[in-house]
Structure 1
Amino acid sequence: MAAREKSAALGKVARPRLYEQLMKQILGYVEAEQLGPGDHLPAERDLAEQLGVSRATLAQALVALEVLGVIDVQHGTGAVLVYRPSIATVLRDLREHQSRLPEIVEARSTLEVKLAALAAERRTDEDLERIDAALKVMAGEIADGGRGARGDELFHEAVTAAAHSRVLAQLMTFIAEMVLETRLESLGQPGRPERSLESHQVIAGAILNGDAAAAAAAMQAHIDLVSDVALLK
C-alpha cells in the first residue's frame, strides 16, 4: 500500500526544451575551447551542422544567450562571447527571464497601447517625420539582412514622444531595459522582423490618420505578436 502511494506521488519529469539542451552544448564548447570575452563562436551554419539541428532551432538558443548577455550577435560578424558563465548560472538566469517575460508584456500592453492612442491625438508634423524615419531605418536594416532592432527601438521611442506625456515617457524609460529583452527575443524569431515592420506600419498609419482607437488596437496587436516567443511556449 505504501509503495502504491509513493508511486502515485511521482510525476513525469519535464523534458528540457531543445534550445536549453543546445545552450548547454554551446557553453560546453566554450568551456572546452577555453574561449574568452571577444572570441567568436563558429558561424551559425557550421555550429548548426556540428550540433545536428536546423539553423532556426539554433537561433533560438543563440537569442536566449544574447538576451542573458552571454553573447553579442551582430549582423556580418556572428556571435561574440561577452563573458564565460557556468551552465548552472545561465540556466538559473534563463528561468528568471522566463518568469519575468509575461510581466514585461503586461507592462507594455498597459503603457504602449495608451501611448499609441495619445500619439494619434497629439502628434505633430515633426513627430510623424520621426516615426517615418524610424520605419525607414528598420526597413533598411532588414533589407541588409539584419533584425531591425535599432529601427524597432527608434519607432517605439518616436511613438512615445508623439504622445507628449512626460509621465508615461518616464515610465517607458524605467522599463526600457526590460523591453530590450522582449525586443531581442521577438526579432530573433524566424520571419519576425518583417512581420514586426508591417505591424509598425499599421500603427503609423493610424497615428497619421489621427485615429486613436485604431492606433491602440494596432499597438495591442503588435504587442501580441512580439510576445509570441519560443521561451514562453
Structure 2
Amino acid sequence: MDVVNRFNMMPFEPKRPYQEIGLVLRNQLIEGLYKVGDRLPPERDIAEQLDVSRTVVREAIIMLELENLVEVKKGSGVYVLNVPTNSASRENIISDDAGPFEMLQARQLLESNIAEFAATQVTPGDILRMRSALELERKELAEGTVDCHGDEQFHLYIAEATQNSVLVDMLKHSWDRREKSPMWKKLHSHISGTAYREEWLEDHAKILSALQRKDPISAKNAMWQHLENVKQRLIELSDIDDPNFDGYLFSSNPVVLLGNASK
C-alpha cells in the first residue's frame, strides 16, 4: 500500500509533513514490522523509501520520541521502546507542533527579507545595538553559558532596524514559538557542546558588515546563508544513526563512479 493510501485510512489527518511520515512509521509498529528493541532503518533509508527529505524523517522520529514509542541512542540509532495499541487519533498524537526544520525554513524566508530591507533603513544607532549584541554573544561563549540572549538580540535589532513594527512582531512570534516548542527542545536534547555557536557568531559578523555597508543584496544573502548553516549544523550535530553505516549521502561512492566514467 502506498503512502497516500495509508494517510487516507488514518482517523487522524496529518497537518504537517513530519506527521505524515510519523504516522506511517507508527502504523508499521502497529502492524508488527518492528518489535520492541528493534532498531529502525537509518534515516537515509527511510527518506529514500518514503521519498522525503531527511529533515522530515528527523522530525518524524522526534514525534515518535515525544510519544515514548522510540528511544534515540546517539551514534547507534533509533530503537523501538513501545508499540502503540491503537490507530492514530488526535488524542494519542502528542505533538501537533511545527517541526524544528520547518521553523528554520520559515525563518530563512522571513529574516533574509528583513535583513534586505533593514539594510536600506538602518541607522548608526541600530548598528551600535547590533555590535552590543555581538559582544554579548562573545561573552556568553567565553563563559560557556547555555544562554543565547546575544543571538536573539542580534536578530531582533535587525528587525527593529526596518522601522516596521509588524515585521518586529513577526520575528518575536517566531522566536517565542521556537522557545515553547517541544519538538525544538527534543531536537536540542541530542546536541552537546556549544562550539558550533562560534560559527554562527562569524555569520552574524558578516551580516553586520553588509548592514554597515547598507548593501541589501549582501545582507539578504548573508542572512539566508547563516540560517542555512544553522539548519545543516543542527542536522549534523543531532545525527542519530550508527556512524559505521556506509552511505549517508550516496548509494555508492561518487569518486569511484567518476573515475570509471573517465576511463
Q: Under a length normalisation based on structure 1, what TM-score does the superposition of the two structures give?
A: 0.56
Match of residue 179 from structure 1: 178
1:201 aligns with 2:226: no
CA distance in 2, matches of 1:144, 1:16: 40
Structure 2 stretches of 5 or more lacking a match?
1-27, 43-60, 76-91, 241-263
The structure carrying a bigger helix percent of its residues is: 1
CA distance in 2, matches of 1:209, 1:186: 35
Match of residue 167 from structure 2: 168
1:148 deviates by 4.9
Q: Secondary structure at 1:194's aligned position in 2?
A: helix
* Residues 151-209 of structure 1: CA deviation (Å, up to 9, x unaligned): 11111111111121222112222222223359876795542111111111111111111
Q: Give the 3 Å change call, closer, same or farther, for CA 218–12 of structure 1 in structure 2.
A: farther
Instruction: Determine what percentage of the aligned residue pairs are the same residue.
Output: 24
CA distance in 1, matches of 2:127, 2:192: 29
Q: Give the 3 Å change call, closer, same or farther, for CA 183–203 of structure 1 in structure 2.
A: farther
1:216 aligns with 2:220: yes
Q: What letter matches 1:196 in structure 2?
A: W
Structure 1 stretches of 5 or more lacking a match?
1-8, 28-52, 59-90
Is this contact kept in 2: 1:183–1:226, CA < 8 A?
A: no
Q: Give the 3 Å change call, closer, same or farther, for CA 183–194 of structure 1 in structure 2.
A: farther
Q: Secondary structure at 2:99's aligned position in 1?
A: helix
Q: Give the 3 Å change call, closer, same or farther, for CA 131–165 of structure 1 in structure 2.
A: same
1:118 deviates by 1.3
Task: Using the TM superposition, name which of 115-124 and 127-136 deviates more.
Answer: 115-124
Match of residue 109 from structure 2: 110
1:112 deviates by 0.4
Q: Give the 3 Å change call, closer, same or farther, for CA 15–218 of structure 1 in structure 2.
A: same
Match of residue 40 from structure 2: 15
Q: Give the 3 Å change call, closer, same or farther, for CA 232–207 of structure 1 in structure 2.
A: farther
Match of residue 145 from structure 2: 146
Is this contact kept in 2: 1:139–1:148, CA < 8 A?
A: no
Q: Under a length normalisation based on structure 2, what TM-score does the superposition of the two structures give?
A: 0.50
Give aligned pairs, total: 160
CA distance in 2, matches of 1:189, 1:204: 28
1:100 aligns with 2:86: no
CA distance in 1, matches of 2:227, 2:142: 23
Q: Secondary structure at 1:105's aligned position in 2?
A: helix
1:106 deviates by 2.2
Match of residue 80 from structure 1: none
1:12 deviates by 6.0
1:132 aligns with 2:131: yes
Pairwise CA RMSD of aligned residues? 3.9
* Residues 115-168 of structure 1: CA deviation (Å, up to 9, x unaligned): 111111111111001000000000000011124511111111111111212221
